[in-house]
């Protein structure tokens, strides 16, 4: 009885979470210029139009460039950050853990404006590169946290055993630390990419003349209705879902293979 | 030499890149904002005579109203989310079994879609002739007023956007309660309500409080909900700040407002975080 209640409550909350995505999808699959429900003319005309637009191609390129740069830099810095966060015992670690979290516990609009002032005071011109920096301020801490959770379950004895067997520091890192932590690093990368791809408040103030997809969508929805917005919104939702699913399956397969390896030895 | 070796032991050594980056990318920008808040109104140059005029202007105006709105709406968001999320967090930890991961993924996905796009989905849902009202009209011939552009809908938008930020820390907290302790309490004759009050709640508290803090802080920074869903019926403090930076071209005033907001948020975060051991919350074995 209570289990059924919890199941249905959770079901209701999930429906609540996905109603906007559903509305976007419905709005994108009509052939008429204006949105009205129930839909009278179904069709994917606006999908075609949106994908053919050169402007949209440019937006995709900018967003992709930013997200890829953010992912690579964030993962490298966060990997070391996570080792300091969870692997080693050291004085000041508890303060360090809290300092790393501060940018997450901070309103992003204010952070975006602060970075705008900062870049301006330093004399930088805003472009997609400054946006990469801005995204990193928020994403490196998130990534550190995600990787740390994996690092907590890491057994330091593995590294020590490798050292005892005569491996160099680099060999230990490449052959022991990296493979063991790989699922965490992979989820960290996935988080970094997707959070950068969908970010709006930081991009808004720091991209300058370059425009990312969320910024473009915002400008369009302020200006009035066009079916291109629901199309791109639906594409982002499906794209993120697909990426997440593939990532999740990869981690599951990796885990299976590892247990299989252990068994066969 | 000894001191150097101490500083560059593995722990601190691995922390250097992150700390260096946050110094340049987080601390330095915040210091810039504080400096800008002392510059004369409507100027853009940092190096001139500093004064407190911007703060005086704020305290002599009615800018406390947006502050009250932002803090009030954030507090309401936190309370509503606590009630919505607890059963879900409990379910993920104890009821859903093998489906728990999938359900967690379902709640993660919306985080990756830009928040203004998702809010726009709500507009399409609630607008006249939209998904809700259009269906009601065609199925029952019933045409109520749209509830778009009300303060209530602003609050709903905030609850919607910040739900995962409450749910995930709360789930971590609930999973810290050992099942044996609960079983023992039941064996000793405790009622469900007693177990909830005396066992579940106190032991899950670290995660719950972190969820409260995170949601509150992010909700204080909310801007799109009031603007898009609330039809600007109320103005949150972040919108005042944004206006100062954009239309009004008054960076020093915007900076001073930001400093006040940062003081509120920063004090809260530091006071609350100080009391927690993150290792236990994040599941150190």
Q: Between chains, do B125 and A19 touch, taking CB under 8 Å as contact?
A: yes
Q: Which residue of B has its CA nearest to A213?
A: B114
Identify all chain B residues contacting A83, using CB atoms and an 8 Å cutoff: 10, 14
Task: Note the pLDDT of residue B1.
Answer: 46
B90, B208 contact by CB (below 8 A): no
Question: Is B251's Cβ below 8 Å from some Cβ in A?
Answer: yes
The backbone torsions φ and ψ at residue A97, rounded to the nearest 5 degrees and listed phi first, read -55, -40
Residue with tokens 């950068």: A196
Neighbours of B217 (CB within 10 A): 23
Across the A/B interface, how many CB contacts are shorter than 8 Å? Answer: 280
Task: Note the pLDDT of residue B155.
Answer: 94
User: Beta partners for B45?
Assistant: none
Mean pLDDT on B19-27: 95
Q: How many CA atoms lie within 13 A of B105 on its CB side?
A: 17
Distance, CA of A178 to CA of A234 (rounded, Å) = 36
The string of DSSP letters for chain B reads -HHHHHHTSHHHHHHHHHHHHHIIIIIHHHHHHHHHTTSPTT---SSS---SHHHHHHHTTTTHHHHHHHHHHHHHHHHHHHHHHHHHHHIIIII-GGGHHHHHHHHHGGGGS-HHHHHHHHHHHHSTTSHHHHHHHHHH---PPP--SSHHHHHHHHHHHHHHHHHHHHHHHHTTS-HHHHHHHHHTT--HHHHIIIIIHHHHHHHHHHHHHHHHHHHHT--HIIIIISTTSS--HHHHHHHHHTTS--HHHHHHHHHHHHHHHHHHHHHHHHT--HHHHTT--
| A2-11, B4-13, B47-56, B261-270, range with the lowest pLDDT | B4-13
Distance, CA of B49 to CA of B36 (rounded, Å) = 11
Mean pLDDT on B57-62: 84
Residue A208 covered by a domain = yes
Identify all chain A residues contacting B277, using CB atoms and an 8 Å cutoff: 94
Identify all chain A residues contacting B14, using CB atoms and an 8 Å cutoff: 80-81, 83-84, 87-88
Residue A196 covered by a domain = yes
Task: Note the pLDDT of residue A265.
Answer: 56
Q: Between chains, do B112 and A214 touch, taking CB under 8 Å as contact?
A: no
B38's CB contacts (< 8 A; 6+ apart) are: B50, B51, B52, B54, B252
Q: Between chains, do A198 and B277 touch, taking CB under 8 Å as contact?
A: no
- Reading phi first (left if > 0) and then psi (alpha if -120 to 50, else beta), residue B51 is in beta
Question: Is B125's Cβ below 8 Å from some Cβ in A?
Answer: yes
Question: Is B136's Cβ below 8 Å from some Cβ in A?
Answer: no
Distance, CA of A176 to CA of A162 (rounded, Å) = 8
**Which residue pairs from B45-48 have beta carbons closer than 8 angstroms and sit at least 24 positions apart in sequence?**
B46/A121
Q: Between chains, do B29 and A37 touch, taking CB under 8 Å as contact?
A: no
CB-closest option in A89, A96, A198 to B112: A198
User: For residue A196, what are the domain limits?
Assistant: 59-256
Q: Between chains, do A217 and B117 touch, taking CB under 8 Å as contact?
A: yes
pLDDT tens for B265-277 read 999 999 998 888 8
- Total number of domains constituting chain A: 1
Question: Could you tell me the residue ranges of all domains in chain B?
Answer: 63-281
Bond from prior residue into A38 cis (ω within 30 degrees of 0) = yes
Max mean pLDDT among A2-11, A235-244, B34-43, B131-140 falls in A2-11
CB-closest option in B114, B265, B283 to A200: B114
Identify all chain B residues contacting A244, using CB atoms and an 8 Å cutoff: 105, 108-109, 112
A126, A209 contact by CB (below 8 A): yes
Q: Which residues of chain A fall short of a pLDDT of 50?
A: none
Distance, CA of A136 to CA of A140 (rounded, Å) = 5
Mean pLDDT on B33-52: 83
Mean per-residue pLDDT of chain B: 88
Distance, CA of B4 to CA of A110 (rounded, Å) = 38
Q: How far is CA B270 from CA B210, B243, B262, B282, in A?
A: 12, 28, 12, 19
Which of B131, B225, B246 has the highest number of chain A CBs within 10 A, making it the mutation to test binding with A?
Answer: B131
| B2-6, B76-80, B105-109, B265-269, range with the lowest pLDDT | B2-6
Predicted confidence band of residue B42 (pLDDT cuts 50, 70, 90): confident
Smallest Cα–Cα separation from A230: which of A17, A46, A42, A14? A46
Domain of A210, CATH number, reads 1.10.3720.10
Task: Note the pLDDT of residue B79.
Answer: 97
Max mean pLDDT among B133-142, B168-177, B276-285 falls in B168-177
pLDDT tens for A89-145 read 888 888 999 999 999 999 998 999 999 999 988 989 899 999 999 999 999 999 999
Give the torsion through C-alpha atoms of B168, B170, B176, B182, to 10 deg.
-130
Q: Which fold has domain B63-281?
A: MetI-like fold (1.10.3720)
């Amino acid at each position: 009885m209570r289990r059924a209640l919890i199941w249905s409550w959770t079901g209701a909350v999930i429906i609540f979470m996905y109603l906007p995505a559903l509305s976007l999808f419905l709005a994108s699959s009509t052939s008429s210029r204006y949105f009205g429900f129930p839909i009278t003319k179904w069709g994917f005309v606006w999908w075609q139009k949106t994908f053919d637009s050169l402007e949209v191609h440019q937006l995709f390129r900018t967003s992709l460039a930013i997200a890829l740069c953010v992912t690579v830099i964030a993962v490298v810095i966060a990997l070391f950050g996570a080792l300091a966060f969870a692997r080693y015992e050291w004085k000041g670690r508890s303060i360090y853990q809290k300092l790393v979290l501060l940018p997450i516990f901070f309103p992003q609009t204010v952070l975006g404006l602060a970075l705008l002032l900062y870049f301006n005071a330093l004399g930088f011109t805003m472009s997609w590169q400054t946006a990469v920096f801005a995204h990193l301020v928020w994403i490196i801490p998130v990534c550190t946290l995600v990787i740390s959770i994996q690092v907590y379950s890491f057994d330091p004895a593995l590294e020590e055993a490798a050292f005892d067997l005569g491996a160099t520091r680099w060999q230990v890192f490449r052959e022991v630390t990296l493979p063991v932590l790989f699922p965490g690093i992979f989820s960290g990368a996935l988080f970094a990419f997707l959070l950068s791809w969908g970010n709006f408040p930081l991009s808004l103030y720091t991209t300058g003349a370059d425009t990312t997809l969320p910024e473009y969508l915002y400008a369009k929805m302020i200006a009035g209705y066009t079916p291109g917005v629901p199309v791109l919104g639906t594409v982002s939702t499906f794209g993120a879902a697909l990426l997440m699913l593939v990532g999740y399956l990869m981690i599951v397969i990796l885990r299976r293979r590892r247990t299989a390896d252990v068994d066969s030895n | 030499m000894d001191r150097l070796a101490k500083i560059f032991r593995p722990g601190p050594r691995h922390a250097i890149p992150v700390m260096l980056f946050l110094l340049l990318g987080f601390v330095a920008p915040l210091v810039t904002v504080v400096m800008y808040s002392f510059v004369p109104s409507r100027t853009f140059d940092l190096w001139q005579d500093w004064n407190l005029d911007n703060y005086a202007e704020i305290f002599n105006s009615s800018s406390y109203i947006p502050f009250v709105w932002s803090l009030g709406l954030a507090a309401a968001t936190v309370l509503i989310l606590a009630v919505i999320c607890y059963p879900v967090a409990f379910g993920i930890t104890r009821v859903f079994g093998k489906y728990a991961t999938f359900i967690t993924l379902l709640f993660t996905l919306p985080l990756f879609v830009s928040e203004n796009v998702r809010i726009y989905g709500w507009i399409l849902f609630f607008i006249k002739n939209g998904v809700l009202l259009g269906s009601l009209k065609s199925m029952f011939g019933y045409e109520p007023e749209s509830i778009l552009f009300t303060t209530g809908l602003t609050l709903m938008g905030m609850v919607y956007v910040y739900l995962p930020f409450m749910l995930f820390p709360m789930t971590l907290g609930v999973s810290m309660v050992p099942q044996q302790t609960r079983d023992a309490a039941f064996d000793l004759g405790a009622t469900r309500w007693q177990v909830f009050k005396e066992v579940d709640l106190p032991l899950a508290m670290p995660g719950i409080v972190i969820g409260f803090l995170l949601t509150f802080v992010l909700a204080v920074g909310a801007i799109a909900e009031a603007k898009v869903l609330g039809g600007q019926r109320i103005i949150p403090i972040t919108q005042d700040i944004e206006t100062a930076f954009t239309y009004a071209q008054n960076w020093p005033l915007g900076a001073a407002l930001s400093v006040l907001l940062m003081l509120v948020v920063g004090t809260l975060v530091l006071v609350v975080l100080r009391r927690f051991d993150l290792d236990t919350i994040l599941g150190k074995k």
